[in-house]
Amino acid sequence: MKQNKVKVIGITGGIATGKSTVSQMIRDEGFQVIDSDGIAREVVKRGSQGLDMVIDEFGKDLLMDDGDLDREKLGRLIFQNEEKRRLLNKLLHPLIRESMASRIEQAAASHSVLFVDIPLLFESREDIEDSGIELDEVWVVYTDPTTQLNRLMNRNDYTYDEAQARIKSQLDIEEKKRLGDKVINNSGSFENTRKQVKDLLNEYR
């Protein structure tokens, strides 16, 4: 994959830490953000190879009446079973990375800096780099663990145990904070987070 001289910055964080909010702030400042979650939805859209693979492995009861994947049912299934979660990742992550690499290569022709929003960046960094995606820097969107738990429970109407299961399926947020090149603390107000984002982006204007 050709990245030319584009600087590729990974955006990551934990579930419910506000990564999508920060990515939108970056877009609002005029920068391009490639969203791996959006790509993940595309690779399992109706009629796709990815959806066929998921249904072949996990069964037709994951299809809704209109033929689309029931993402909520799939989510409940894999978060209750570590082996099935790993299997799903093995099926879909190569498709996601292939699409992501292609979009980075296309954008590299017209951008000097590019952001890639990847929720499980540290958990899969070796595979990401093996697919030809070179990350020059990683920004971590952080909230303290208590705030993260409360936001997830409120946002998704999860019980304490359901929220904890999803948080524990990812690398600990404190470890992600330690591994990041830059950290955006989203434990406070929206305006405070936006100021941090703008300050970081000033280097690339």
Domains of the chain by residue range: 7-204
Sorting pLDDT into bands at 50, 70 and 90, what band is 164?
very high
Cβ(141)–Cβ(184) under 8 Å? yes
List pLDDT tens digits, range 72-122: 899 888 887 889 988 999 999 999 999 999 999 999 888 999 999 999 999
Cβ(177)–Cβ(140) under 8 Å? yes
Q: Encoding tokens for residue 195?
A: 């100021």
Residue with tokens 């791996």: 36
Cβ(76)–Cβ(136) under 8 Å? no
The one-letter code for the residue type at 70 is: D
What is the spatial distance between Cα 132 and Cα 90, in angstroms, rounded to a whole number?
18
Is residue 187 predicted with pLDDT exceeding 90? yes
Sorting pLDDT into bands at 50, 70 and 90, what band is 41?
very high
Question: pTM of the prediction?
Answer: 0.90
CA angle 99, 101, 102 (to 5 degrees): 65
SS3 104: helix
CATH superfamily label, 7-204: P-loop containing nucleotide triphosphate hydrolases (3.40.50.300)
Cβ(29)–Cβ(158) under 8 Å? no
Neighbouring CB atoms inside 10 A of 12's CB total 26
Cβ(186)–Cβ(142) under 8 Å? yes
What is the spatial distance between Cα 70 and Cα 72, in angstroms, rounded to a whole number?
6
Helix (H) or strand (E) holding 83: helix 82-108
